[in-house]
Structure 1
Amino acid sequence: MTRFDADDPRDRRKLFADAIAAHRTRASPFVTLEADTDSGQDALEPATDSGEDGDRDDDTARPWVQFGDNTFNLDVTDAELDDLKGLVGEFPEFRIQQLESPEEAEGTNARVTARSDPNRLATFADRVFLDVYDRANDYRAWVAEV
């Protein structure tokens, strides 16, 4: 892979598909995809710099999706879980395998099994950011780890 971010819908899906293919080729444990914290219409407060390097101090608010071992892993709120269930219903080959809500956590960790080609997996990941995490159509996404 030579690029690690994109903000155009077609480029994002290509980026995600390339990252998933690289993950499979390298036999890495997982690939991590992240989206900007700006959710479009209901944007979060702007990030503030924490130092000279410009690192944001809002990394915990940045939505992420991991894929490995034919399973998507993501954390969602109760409202986002409803949206995730609706989205999975649009992908008949995908199944919610496990939902875990520890008492000390404010949300749910969801695991979605997904046996498909990289393009279909990339489409699902992009739709998670758009439909579940409510990102604007031009959100910026990164491949954080392959």
Structure 2
Amino acid sequence: MTRFDATEPAERRKLYVDAIVAHRDRESTFLTFEADDAVLEADADGTDETETTPGSEDGVDDAPPAELSVPWIQFGDGTVNLDCTDAELETLKTVIGEFSAFKIDELIRPEEAEGVNARISAKADPNRIAQFVDEVFLEVYDLPAGFRVWVAEV
């Protein structure tokens, strides 16, 4: 692999495919995709350039600010792994409903952390996995269409 980030939707999906192929070629344990933390910083200081603030429909978020963490997704051995809130889990279930080759295998709720760790079987080719990963970032984590994603580990 020669590039490790992308912002345009088609380029992000190509990046996901390239990373999955590199991961398989290297026989690594897993690979990690991370959203650029600039999206969270822009949201936290109110300079987000999207039409609405993530998590709201009208651009006004009445909820108290939550501690934001950089959204990440791991892939390895046919499994997609990610952390999410309970609300994000409901959206994740909706997204999975659109991808018949994907199903939740395990939900783990650690006592020492808030949220849920979801392990999803991904019995699909790299292109379909790439579509799924991008849809999770966009729909589950409510990121803007032009967010930057990084391949953090292959």
TM-score (norm 2): 0.81
Match of 1:36? 36
Pairing of 1:79-94 with structure 2 (within 5 A): 79-94=87-102
Secondary structure of the 1:105 match is: coil
Measure how far apart 1:45 and its partner are. 3.7
Cα RMSD, aligned residues only: 1.7
Where structure 1 has 5 or more consecutive residues not aligned to the other structure, the ranges are 47-59
Match of 2:4? 4
Residues 46-102 of structure 1 deviation map (CA, whole Å, 9 limit, x = unaligned): 8xxxxxxxxxxxxx7111000001000000001100010110110011010000002
Where structure 2 has 5 or more consecutive residues not aligned to the other structure, the ranges are 47-67
Matched to 2:138, the amino acid is L
Match of 1:116? 124
Matched to 1:121, the amino acid is I
Match of 1:64? 72
Measure how far apart 1:44 and its partner are. 2.8
Matched to 2:24, the amino acid is R
* Kept after mapping to 1: 8 A contact 2:83/2:117: yes
Distance 2:20 2:142 in 1: 22
Aligned-residue sequence identity (percent) comes to: 58
Matched to 2:131, the amino acid is T
Total equivalences in the alignment: 132
TM-score (norm 1): 0.86
Measure how far apart 1:105 and its partner are. 1.3
Secondary structure of the 2:96 match is: helix
